[in-house]
Structure 1
């Protein structure tokens, strides 16, 4: 499905469901250099359980056009514009990694538009190593190799996907390889420069769920717990074994957790 946001064609998946004015809405926000496809399982589930689903491709990601925002503030403002274009008054905002920072920022700054909040693989701040940033700046495959390796736990690298026929690490690699040139660096740099997360967390009033992978090397569990501790109405679900790529490694557990709040 497409909608025009700020003059650019923007794609979203509705989980092959229907959009109805009398149903609550849920918005899914993907991570750096990814797209809506990481949300296939929860998108289809919630679309079949009475929700309007909007799994967005951020600007210059997936099938969406336009220039990618260079800051988390910019992404959050774009999300507000996307909701206006889609006539969404309020929604459950669910974000993974980069998407979690966008969701946190949005919930703090636009509380009236945030029904509930779910943060997956989150951390504030969310520092990125110089080696990864430099490789991403040059569009070098090393950036993909580093991020993909660090995003999977030992369990994920060994295999045994709950999704039949899916190789978790190769799926992650191919998704990153499909990103537009420059998108990965822009996303990572926005995460790296996001500095006011702790202050924003104090202003989040929506009920919040934080999902933590116990073997997450990209956003450390202790940092994710600190985000939860900074939000007044929050609770935590811990997944084990699980790394940063929790939607690939523990898709059913993630869905079970989301179903308790969305």
Structure 2
């Protein structure tokens, strides 16, 4: 699906099914330097099991045009604009990493629209080291390589994840490189700076009334479970699911992530 937001094309993958705004819509929001493709399994499954799906490309990422937005608040406003343009009436927001902050802020801004919130690989504050930010400005490829290593639990994944001959780390690295090639205006720095600067997380979390699911990777080095106490404390009614993966859990443990999200969606009336 493609709509226009603020004069620029905005793309969302619908999971291989025609979008039906009358259904509850599961909205997938990717993290920094990524696009909708990180949700390939989860988005397609839910689209074929009773939900409408919008797996978005944020501005300046993938197939969505315009410059990358420099704040979580601006990205949340853009997301709500896309949902309005699509005619969404009931939304379950599922955000990964930077996308989880966007989802949290969007719920805070439009509580009546959102009936469920799933936060994957999330923490607050989402601090980014000054060394990584500096490297992203001087040598973006080196920064990509650093994050790619930190985002995965192992260099050598078992053949069952997700299939023989598939390189989990290689795929993630190539996607980030592709995002840089499509948007060479320091996309990495813009995204990670937005995560680092976001300051409304605690207030936004305190206002959330809808059901909440946290999905944490047991081996996550980017947003380790021990760093999430402020967020989980502010959303004390949230349920926690742990998967045997690092930060890039959707590719390292795709079935476990799908099971958690499908069960959560099914629990929402």
Q: TM-score, normalised by structure 1?
A: 0.95
Question: Which of 220, 223, 233 in structure 2 is aligned with 1:219?
Answer: 223
What are the residue-to-residue correspondences of 1:47-196 with 2, within 5 Å?
A: 47-154=47-154, 157-160=155-158, 161-164=160-163, 165-179=165-179, 180-181=183-184, 182-196=186-200
Gaps of 5+ in 1: none
Q: Distance in 2 between matches of 1:230 and 1:27?
A: 23
In the alignment, what sits opposite 2:252?
249
C-alpha spacing 1:135/1:26, structure 2 compared with 1 (3 Å):
same
The alignment partner of 1:259 has SS state of helix
Total equivalences in the alignment: 259
Gaps of 5+ in 2: none
Shift of 1:132: 1.2
Shift of 1:225: 4.3
Q: Distance in 1 between matches of 2:22 and 2:85?
A: 18
Shift of 1:199: 1.9
Deviates more, 1:17-26 or 1:111-120: 17-26
Q: Distance in 2 between matches of 1:246 and 1:224?
A: 16
Shift of 1:228: 2.1
Tell me, yes or no, if structure 1 residue 45 matches structure 2 residue 45: yes
1:160-202 Cα distance to aligned partner (Å, 9 max, x none): 2522132111011001101122111111000011122122111
Q: Distance in 2 between matches of 1:183 and 1:210?
A: 27
The alignment partner of 1:89 has SS state of coil
